[in-house]
Amino acid sequence: MKLTVAEKIIKKHLVKGEMNKGEGIGLKIDQTLTQDSTGTMAYLQFEALGIDRVKTKRSVAYIDHNTLQAGPENADDHLYIQSIAKKHGIYFSKPGNGICHQVHLERFGVPGETILGSDSHTPTAGGIGMLAIGAGGLDVAVAMAGGEYYIDMPKIVNVKLTGKLKPGVSAKDIILKVLEICSVKGGVNKIFEYSGEGLKSLTVPERATITNMGAELGATTSIFPSDEVTYEFLKAQDREEDFTELKADKEAKYDEEIEINLNELKPLIACPHSPDNVVKVKELEGKKVNQIAIGSCTNSSYMDLMKVSNILDGKTISEDVSLVISPGSKQVLNMLAENGALAKLVSAGARILECACGPCIGMGQAPNTNGVSLRTFNRNFKGRSGTTSADIYLVSPEVAAVSAITGVMTNPLDYDYDLDVKMPEKFLINDNLIKAPAEAENDVSIVRGPNIKPFPETKALENEIEGNVLIKVGDNITTDHIMPSNAKLLPYRSNIPYLSEYCLTPCDENFPKRAKENDGGIIVAGTNYGQGSSREHAALAPLYLGVKAVIAKSFSRIHKQNLINNGILPLCFLDESDYDDINLLDKLVIKDLLTQIDNDFIILKSKDKEYKLKLTITDRQKEMLLAGGLLNLIKSN
Ligand code: MIC
Ligand code: SF4
């Protein structure tokens, strides 16, 4: 059989099921990554599994999200993760070493291997030819313990790139184009595999910009082949030995195809408040900008920041603009410092932040009231920046840098900057902030700060579910709505009781109170419920508040699994128009659930009506729900 790149990796890692589209498959996981905002919970769950040493080829714990330390909570969590990593065989990347996805690409990514990460942008490593998937912390904990990871065998979309990008148009514009075509829900249960002659001119960090933001399609992952370009990157990182060639067979069959001619692509911009709300920069030219933020796991590579430095060289940023730059890694920052590019950025007026997620997750640099912020990031959901009234636009580093000078949205194609930045033959390699774990036999003691609270317990599925509708929300509700993560809340990622007080408050500030008054209940939602982050806190906080089921038109892949992992039923309307019928505080009942779970549909009753619901789950997911979540299932086995 002729296979695509993704299918070749899946075939090699298949431990359960058959590669039939839509059917559940279990994959062996070679590598894992965690970051600190999901990591504390993931390691508490890993501890609950009672395994001494990780069973993966490589597991890395990064500290990059919670790096503002306004109180002891974040620092305490860092120490917890550091001690866990040392004890259990996990590499530890210290705060300051950079954003997990950027550092992983530089120092650990291996073409042809699988990686599971407790962050939705783990597919970044698809840029180096890995099968890289984002998941909730519990799934990553299980993978560290040697368990396989389950997905539905995805459809494969071939994104064929022809031609070559013009200077001023960049990899970011390619993925914005794909988002414009497919939308934020167009990628669910699909893998986007890139091919065509256009690939040759895209370096690994540029490919990684594309696979990174493929997460915004809701895709299972995105992937590039591993070719000469991949080899050059690995060689420049002193890691030639990690290279293997990986190409799709000539007659490989794809389920869908998209073609993008790079010659014709123009600079694009995603408008508030969704990454697929894409127009040409030209259409917004001249619009006043208050803040510009360059960085994030999408656009903070050496090449990105060299282009920015070339544009800002000898200039001063506009009087009315605040420009902040967070380099993706210590390697990037160090190289910019050594070659003088950093001095150009500073002298133009950029405020240099540490190598971390920073403003991307609202950890500082919230814009002014009603502010307009241009960001090279991947998400512009309302309120995520820390300022609810702000309008966030997503752009390439080129658009961001040129606009920083003019103070208004500006098309880089109208200017003549030196944007021909070559990938260096050797990157600066200094892994002194990556700490190897202790030897197998060790007596490392675990440091636990007072902010670390146990995660909520789950119960086996009950035969009858009864509850009031606690909230009714619309389409595309993100995990940033369900469990907001601004600078005030992110420090409490290991404290679910505290976090639950803020659950769904961006949609309805009374939700937590109502959930408590009603002794838990049911959430009703539109399409693509739970898009965005992999944070399982968006399931744990509702669980803590007594939510038993979410009834939606459709779900995002990671959030649906997080609900199941925590014993919450993800139900869909068989007839979507029933959504209109159900109202806040309606009393809903599902009887005989333990029998109904095996039926084609499930009957839900309100006071005067019956509705049909679908529960689209695999046999394994059914076992999880019956057991009351993944951890219970594993313990019972
Ligand atoms: C994000 O970009 O939303 C995050 C913060 O990186 C999340 C992880 C989290 O919520 O901790 C993600 O993408 O999964
Ligand atoms: Fe960090 Fe932002 Fe990337 Fe999430 S999207 S990993 S917050 S840089």
Please state the domain extents for the chain: 5-264, 268-414, 465-636
- CATH number for 5-264 (one of 2.20.25.90, 3.30.428.10, 3.30.499.10, 3.10.400.10): it is 3.30.499.10
Reported in sequence order, the residue ranges of 360-438 that DSSP labels E, i.e. its strands, are: 372-375, 391-394, 434-435
Q: How many CA atoms lie within 13 A of 134 on its CB side?
A: 36
For ligand 1, whether the C-beta of 534 sits within 6 Å is yes
Spans in the chain with pLDDT lower than 70: none
Picking from 623, 632, 634, the residue whose alpha carbon sits closest to that of residue 24 is 623
Tokens representing 513 are 């109170």
Question: Residue 480 CA: which ligand 1 atom is closest?
Answer: 3
DSSP state of 567: T
**Ligand 1 centroid – CA 152 distance (Å):** 22
Which of the ligands is closest to the CA of residue 479?
1
Distance CA 427, CA 332 (A): 9
Residues in contact with 372: Cβ distance below 8 Å, sequence separation at least 6, in sequence order: 287, 288, 289, 290, 291, 390, 391, 393
**Ligand 1 centroid – CA 120 distance (Å):** 6
**Ligand 2 centroid – CA 121 distance (Å):** 7
Distance CA 265, CA 416 (A): 18
Backbone angles phi, psi at 253, to 5 degrees: -105, 135
Candidate from 103, 299, 324, 361 with most ligand 2 atoms within 8 A of CB, to mutate: 361
**Ligand 2 centroid – CA 1 distance (Å):** 38
Q: What is the CATH number of domain 268-414?
A: 3.30.499.10
Distance CA 562, CA 454 (A): 17
**Ligand 1 centroid – CA 119 distance (Å):** 5
HEC profile of 311-337:
HHCCCCCCCCCEEEECCCEHHHHHHHH
Q: What is the CATH number of domain 465-636?
A: 3.20.19.10
Distance CA 267, CA 328 (A): 22
**Ligand 1 centroid – CA 227 distance (Å):** 30
Residues in contact with 343: Cβ distance below 8 Å, sequence separation at least 6, in sequence order: none
Which of the ligands is closest to the CA of residue 294?
2
In this chain, the answer to whether the domains covering 5-264 and 268-414 adopt an identical fold is yes
Which of the ligands is closest to the CA of residue 377?
2
Picking from 167, 229, 243, 174, the residue whose alpha carbon sits closest to that of residue 201 is 229
- pLDDT score at 204: 98
Q: Rounded to an integer, what is the distance from CA 50 to the centroid of its chain?
A: 27
What are the tens digits of pLDDT across the range 85-137? 999 999 999 999 999 999 999 999 999 999 999 999 999 999 999 999 999 99
- pLDDT score at 637: 84
Helix (H) or strand (E) holding 40: helix 36-49
Residue with the smallest CA separation from ligand 1 atom 3 is 533
Buried b (16+ CB within 10 A) or exposed e, 538-549: bbbbbbbbbbbb
- pLDDT score at 309: 98
For ligand 1, whether the C-beta of 535 sits within 6 Å is yes
Distance CA 105, CA 127 (A): 8
- pLDDT score at 119: 98
Distance CA 201, CA 199 (A): 6
Question: In angstroms, what is the C-alpha Rg of the chain?
Answer: 23
